[in-house]
Amino acid sequence: MTKRGKKYAAASEKIDPNKRYDFPEALRLAVDTSYRKFDETVDVAVRLGVDPRHADQMVRGSVVLPNGTGKDVKVLVFAKGEKEKEAQEAGADFVGNDDLLEKIKGGWFGFDKAVATPDVMGAVGRIGKVLGPRGLMPNAKSGTVTFDVARAVKELKAGKIDFRVERAGIVHATMGKVSFGADRLMENLTSFFDTIVRLKPASSKGTYLKSIAISTSMGAGIRIDPVHVKAILK
């Protein structure tokens, strides 16, 4: 059993594990109980009433958080010709094709997100087994396989996140940093839940949002009553 420090224990005492908070109170607690010297990340975990084993109940999507994630996202673009220039002008950190493929084959992964134009996906697909497990494979469903590379790069730089329900029916996503404060975190959470609710599969029966919890990188989970989602989406 992991032994927790005194600061963790003191912060955890302020959180009632049996209570289901509303969003404003939960976010204030998350910010106020952060005790680390570094700027902790604030994450949300949502258990959905879906069975991901069925294709028609797979929940996946993306959303551009209005306040970003607080992270400097390094974007790589696989492209050629005029699209290379377009990606560079949009702020991509790395742009190329064969040269980048060779670097990645050699073990380089100095980027956070990857975008590719459709005409180079044949070559990119050959390193899919390397990119896929790291969550770096461009995907048309998430908008990262596109000829509109400028838009894709700008959205990723602005704080676009991708999410996907896991086998246990849980979606994890980053909502920002403790330094954002409760109000900016609330704006990000509202955008996230607006997307989650809109993605509810038609075949999902019963309760869709079963449980919600937020936590900081090193902090305890704070449970939120799913009924409060309706309030923030009004």
Domains of the chain: residue spans and CATH: 6-69+160-233 (3.30.190.20), 75-157 (3.40.50.790)
Q: Is the pLDDT of residue 206 over 60?
A: yes
Query: How far, in Å, CA of 142 to CA of 129, rounded?
Result: 18
The two structure tokens encoding residue 72: 């400097």
The model's pLDDT over 65-95, given as tens digits with 9 standing for 90+, comes to 999 999 999 999 999 999 999 999 999 999 9
If one counts every other C-beta atom within 10 angstroms of the C-beta of residue 92, the result is: 26
Record the pTM: 0.83
Query: How far, in Å, CA of 24 to CA of 47, rounded?
Result: 20
Q: When comparing pLDDT for 1 and 12, which is higher? A: 12
What average pLDDT score do residues 44-55 get?
94
Determine whether 206 is exposed, middle or buried from the number of CB atoms within 10 Å of its CB (0-12, 13-18, 19+).
exposed
Q: Provide the sign of the torsion angle of the four alpha carbons 143, 170, 113, 23, taken in this order.
A: positive
pLDDT of residue 205: 87
Three-class SS state of 87? helix
The model's pLDDT over 93-129, given as tens digits with 9 standing for 90+, comes to 999 999 999 999 999 999 999 999 999 999 999 999 9
pLDDT band at 181 (very low <50, low <70, confident <90, very high): very high
pLDDT over 90 for what percent of the chain? 79
